[in-house]
Amino acid sequence: MSHENPETIADQAREWLAEYIVKKDDLKPKDRLAIPSQEMPAQDPIERGKNLDEVALGFTMEQARLEALRCLQCKKNTCVDDCPVAIDIPGFIKHIADGDMQAAADTIKESSLLPSICGRVCPQETQCQEHCKVGMALKDIDKGVGIGRLERFVADWERATGNIRVPEVKPATGKKVAVVGSGPAGLVVAADVRREGHDVTIFEAFHKMGGVMRYGIPEFRLPNEIIDQEIDTLNKMGVKFQTNYVVGRTRKLTDLIDKDGFDAVFVGTGAGLPYFMGIEGENLVGVFSANEYLTRANLMKAFDKKESNTPIYESKKVAVLGGGNVAMDAARMALRLGAEKVYVVYRRTEKEMPARNEEIEHAKEEGIEFHFLRNPKRILGTEDGRVKAMEVLKYELGEPDDSGRRRPVVIEGSEFMMEVDTVLVSIGNGSNPLISQTTPDMSVNKWGNIKVDEKQKSSINKIYAGGDIVLGAATVILAMGEGRRAAKAINEQLANELAVQSN
Amino acid sequence: MSRIIHKEQLSKDVFLMRLEAPLIAEERKAGQFIILQTDEDLGERIPLTIADADEDEGSITIIFQVVGKSTNDLSHLNKGDDIPVLVGPLGMPTHIENFGTVVCVGGGIGVAPLHPIAQALKKAGNKVITIIGARNKDLIILEDKMKEIADEFIVCTDDGSYGRKALVTEPLKEICKREEKPNMAIAIGPPVMMKFCAETTRPYEVFTQVSLNTIMVDGTGMCGGCRVNVGGEVKFVCVDGPEFDGHKVDFDNMMMRLNSYKDFEKKKAHECNLELEVAKKEAEL
């Protein structure tokens, strides 16, 4: 995959669509498989390395309809089974092929309230798109129907109309629900619970809403304006927001129920303390967790070096440790902040990288260098304690480990030096300690993640949890799936209570 | 959002503010801190220890020294102004019990966070010996308040302009040498002062607690910017601290890390000095 001019992509799509649209109702599966799969138009790789604007530009109308025509409308739709929120995927795609975008938007919204976010950041290739028959027939998952891209197209189309339909809210029930954390899990719970007529307040520790979508995922992947718009929809539904409020500290979790009269609480506090490698030199100046680096750049606006009062480290040569989406975000952010060289250092190979293919490809196009089967041994500093180099060991792949991936094995004596001034550590997170520290009755596992039952209910009555605080580091859509399940259980609990009250 | 209900200047660069914050006033305990921003969009997150709280008034007191652009911005806010971002109380409260005799050592602005701790220790029945120190007389703060709760009170300045001419470590050493050795020491102040207090008490095996004010972003255990090496382990000041065993803290590394952004801070301070000069010139014209 290499970068193609968006105009060329658009022109081609226009031509192809003209050819196929006239016979759209007579297309045989063989014909559909022959329709070229649509590339996502993107900003020029060199240009985008200097700005924070979104990299992926979104399908044109012609591309969307053409891509939608590739869908076989299977009777047994495995794509829906693999979607954590079970969107009627063939249904909305059919509407796009037919040119009825409003119907497509409405279909998605029956299951997902945040399509403009999911369409951008979901790992479709391991979910809906993984078992797409089109991709299977063409023996390439990437050639499956671009479900996420179509979802994004529909959501953006609706946003552009300026007339986003606000979901209907049932009459007030008098029940109050607290949602702790405004990340993807919390937003889904807020929406689903509010729709049933319950009063909902979201408590957020930061000064802005959105959780990891705001502080972690950079604007070049998920623009703030998209998050603002989703929050605005919740606002229009009557959801209340309380920022700068740390549940566990500003108020004990159980006090929300015992003192403040909430009938149920959802805990979606997300990931916590970043892991470090535990190697020599890790506390040198110039070693940061990807979380810190991204939070400074995104939430605290340190990207705007002139206006923001939050500093960000000036780097020339940056090593990013890790192979996940957060590592890709950190590497690409470092580039945008002016680094001359950015290296991703990963101890396995490209195949084992947990990051999405699209992110890896984008990073490569932008000039980020990947060093596979490499892992740092120690970080070396200057006299005043600033990073100057990293000693790195070479690895080879051995037998598969517990995760099924081949275990990287160190090659003894393979040490070499890598000259860097900044190291961004992106090897995952522990759980957020605040709730468990201040809520002694809450059952957590040995990693500090909250234990829940199949309905997302915690060990404390009326308290539910979901997202990274339960799963460890996962994805936006898995958090949303958990939020959906928790909301269902909360709505059931409250409906039962209301039924008892009226008897 | 939080309204400033009182402001006073304690010394040239040190200010005290009482802020409307009923929930924080209700929940806070000695040793905890808040984070504030003077601008919701572009402001820096400034961690400050809570110096006092008044539950009835629903207010907390902060005391801060102007050290850079952000604290300078804060010092220009006045009574009646709103602070757009205020969150807390954060960190673990100080563990308070009757230890016996406790030496409380406060250096410069560090006297502010020390005050509520000394107060709580006194209330728990401890004999409180207080040492406060600063570079010169102008930088001594909260003298009366500290004196009020001390069984024994020593004030010293580096230049001898007030009280005893000594560093705080001098009287601290004398106290450690006494026949009746103190059961514990608490030192709060500039990192280098805390480091040397810990070194002073180490040979006497007097447990010495320090309160660290590191670089911090979220303050809730997400970013890891505040990490310090304590007894060979990585600890996070925002959720494991801010108080640690001073004999185990790697102060040299911490001081190095505090300088991470010194170039940026210098540049910002320079810019804000320029702005002040321009404003002055404009006022003159």
**Per residue in B181-202, pLDDT tens?**
999 999 999 999 999 999 999 9
- What per-residue confidence (pLDDT) applies to A231? 92
- What per-residue confidence (pLDDT) applies to B285? 65
Taking residues B192-214, report their average pLDDT: 96
- What per-residue confidence (pLDDT) applies to A474? 78
Superfamily in which the A176-271+430-502 domain is placed by CATH: FAD/NAD(P)-binding domain (3.50.50.60)
- Out of B90, B118, B137, a domain closes at B90
Reported as a single tens digit per residue, the pLDDT across B215-238 is: 999 999 899 999 999 999 999 999
Is the per-residue pLDDT at A118 higher than 90?
A: no
Q: Is B85 domain-assigned? A: yes
CATH for B132: 3.40.50.80
Closest CA in chain B for residue A293 = B223
**B218 contacts chain A (CB < 8 A):** yes
Does the beta-carbon distance from A246 to B234 stay under 8 Å?
Answer: no
On whether both B77 and B104 belong to a single domain, the answer is: no
> Is the CB of residue A243 less than 8 Å from the CB of residue B1?
no
Strand ranges inside A382-461, DSSP E? 387-400, 406-410, 416-419, 422-425, 429-431
Does the beta-carbon distance from B260 to A215 stay under 8 Å?
Answer: no
Altogether, the residues listed in chain B come to a count of: 285
Taking residues A395-421, report their average pLDDT: 91
Q: Is B222 domain-assigned? A: no
On whether both B108 and B179 belong to a single domain, the answer is: yes
**C-alpha span between A446 and A485 (Å, rounded):** 24
CA torsion through residues B266, B272, B275, B276, sign: negative
Reported as a single tens digit per residue, the pLDDT across A344-394 is: 999 999 998 999 888 999 999 999 999 999 999 999 999 989 999 999 999
- Span of A249-253, A294-298, A309-313, A397-401 with lowest mean pLDDT: A397-401
Which H/E stretch holds residue A100? none
Reported as a single tens digit per residue, the pLDDT across B109-159 is: 999 999 999 999 999 999 999 999 999 998 999 999 999 999 999 999 999
- What per-residue confidence (pLDDT) applies to A238? 96
Is the per-residue pLDDT at A473 higher than 80?
A: no
Q: Is B181 domain-assigned? A: yes
Is the per-residue pLDDT at A28 higher than 70?
A: yes
Taking residues A88-117, report their average pLDDT: 92
Closest CA in chain A for residue B232 = A278
Q: Is B265 domain-assigned? A: no
Closest CA in chain B for residue A207 = B85
Give A-chain residues touching B92 at CB under 8 angstroms.
437
On whether both B112 and B12 belong to a single domain, the answer is: no
DSSP state of B79: T
On whether both B171 and B104 belong to a single domain, the answer is: yes
Residues 45-104 of B with CB under 8 A from A: 45, 69-70, 73, 84-90, 92
**C-alpha span between A102 and A100 (Å, rounded):** 6
Q: Give B152→chain A minimum CA distance, Å.
A: 34
Does the beta-carbon distance from A311 to B264 stay under 8 Å?
Answer: yes
Q: Is B111 domain-assigned? A: yes
Q: Which residues pair with B61 in a beta bridge?
A: B18, B52
Taking residues B239-268, report their average pLDDT: 91
Is the per-residue pLDDT at A1 higher than 60?
A: no
* Residue A444 pLDDT grade (very low, low, confident, very high; cuts 50, 70, 90): very high
On whether both B104 and B198 belong to a single domain, the answer is: yes
Retrieve residue A361's tokens: 């490809």
**C-alpha span between B38 and B77 (Å, rounded):** 9
* Residue A433 pLDDT grade (very low, low, confident, very high; cuts 50, 70, 90): confident
DSSP letter string, A206-265: SSSS-THHHHTS-TTTS-HHHHHHHHHHHHHTT-EEE-S--BTTTB-HHHHHHTT--SEE
- What per-residue confidence (pLDDT) applies to B264? 81
On whether both B21 and B118 belong to a single domain, the answer is: no
Give A-chain residues touching B45 at CB under 8 angstroms.
300, 310
- Out of B182, B211, B240, a domain closes at B211
* Residue B283 pLDDT grade (very low, low, confident, very high; cuts 50, 70, 90): low
Long-range contacts of B229-238 (CB under 8 A, 24+ apart): B229/A283, B229/B253, B229/B254, B234/A276, B234/A278, B234/A282, B234/A283, B236/A273, B237/B91, B237/B212, B237/B213, B238/B47, B238/B90, B238/B91
Does the beta-carbon distance from A246 to B87 stay under 8 Å?
Answer: yes
Is the per-residue pLDDT at A478 higher than 90?
A: no
Residue A247 identity: V
> Is the CB of residue A482 less than 8 Å from the CB of residue A470?
yes
- Examine domains A6-161 and A276-427 and report if their fold is the same: no
Closest CA in chain B for residue A433 = B221
Taking residues A411-432, report their average pLDDT: 94
- What per-residue confidence (pLDDT) applies to A432? 83
Of the candidates A207, A295, A384, which has its C-beta nearest B256's C-beta?
Answer: A384
Q: What residue spans define the domains of chain A? A: 6-161, 176-271+430-502, 276-427
**C-alpha span between B13 and A432 (Å, rounded):** 37
- What per-residue confidence (pLDDT) applies to A373? 96
Cα distance from N-terminal residue to C-terminal residue, chain A: 64
Is the per-residue pLDDT at A62 higher than 90?
A: yes
Helix, strand, or coil (residue A421): coil
Retrieve residue B136's tokens: 């010169």
Taking residues B241-262, report their average pLDDT: 93
Taking residues A274-294, report their average pLDDT: 94
More confident of the two residues B78 and A75: B78
> Is the CB of residue B48 less than 8 Å from the CB of residue B64?
yes
- What per-residue confidence (pLDDT) applies to A148? 93
On whether both B107 and B203 belong to a single domain, the answer is: yes
Give B-chain residues touching A326 at CB under 8 angstroms.
none
Cα distance from N-terminal residue to C-terminal residue, chain B: 36
Residues 6+ apart with CB under 8 A from A82: A127, A128, A130, A131
Q: Residues A66-75, buried b or exposed e (16+ Cβ, 10 A)? A: bbbbbbbebe
Does the beta-carbon distance from A384 to B259 stay under 8 Å?
Answer: yes
Pick the closest to residue A337 from A425, A447, A275, A422 (CA basis). Answer: A422
The number of folded domains in chain B is 2
> Is the CB of residue A87 less than 8 Å from the CB of residue A108?
yes
On whether both B149 and B206 belong to a single domain, the answer is: yes
- What per-residue confidence (pLDDT) applies to B230? 96
On whether both B102 and B196 belong to a single domain, the answer is: yes
Q: Is B147 domain-assigned? A: yes
CATH for B25: 2.40.30.10
Q: Which domain holds residue B23?
A: 2-90
On whether both B117 and B177 belong to a single domain, the answer is: yes
> Is the CB of residue A327 less than 8 Å from the CB of residue A291?
no
Does the beta-carbon distance from A207 to B85 stay under 8 Å?
Answer: yes
Superfamily in which the A6-161 domain is placed by CATH: Alpha-helical ferredoxin (1.10.1060.10)
Give A-chain residues touching B58 at CB under 8 angstroms.
none
Taking residues A121-131, report their average pLDDT: 86
Is the per-residue pLDDT at B27 higher than 80?
A: yes
* Residue B281 pLDDT grade (very low, low, confident, very high; cuts 50, 70, 90): confident
On whether both B158 and B181 belong to a single domain, the answer is: yes
Closest CA in chain A for residue B24 = A250
Q: Give burial (CB, 10 Å; 0-12/13-18/19+) of A501.
A: exposed
Q: Is B260 domain-assigned? A: no
* Residue A317 pLDDT grade (very low, low, confident, very high; cuts 50, 70, 90): very high
Taking residues B262-271, report their average pLDDT: 78
Taking residues A9-13, report their average pLDDT: 92
- What per-residue confidence (pLDDT) applies to B276? 67
- What per-residue confidence (pLDDT) applies to B284? 67
Q: Is B15 domain-assigned? A: yes
- Out of B73, B90, B107, a domain closes at B90
> Is the CB of residue B19 less than 8 Å from the CB of residue B60?
yes
On whether both B57 and B113 belong to a single domain, the answer is: no
Could you say which architecture CATH assigns to the domain A276-427?
3-Layer(bba) Sandwich (3.50)
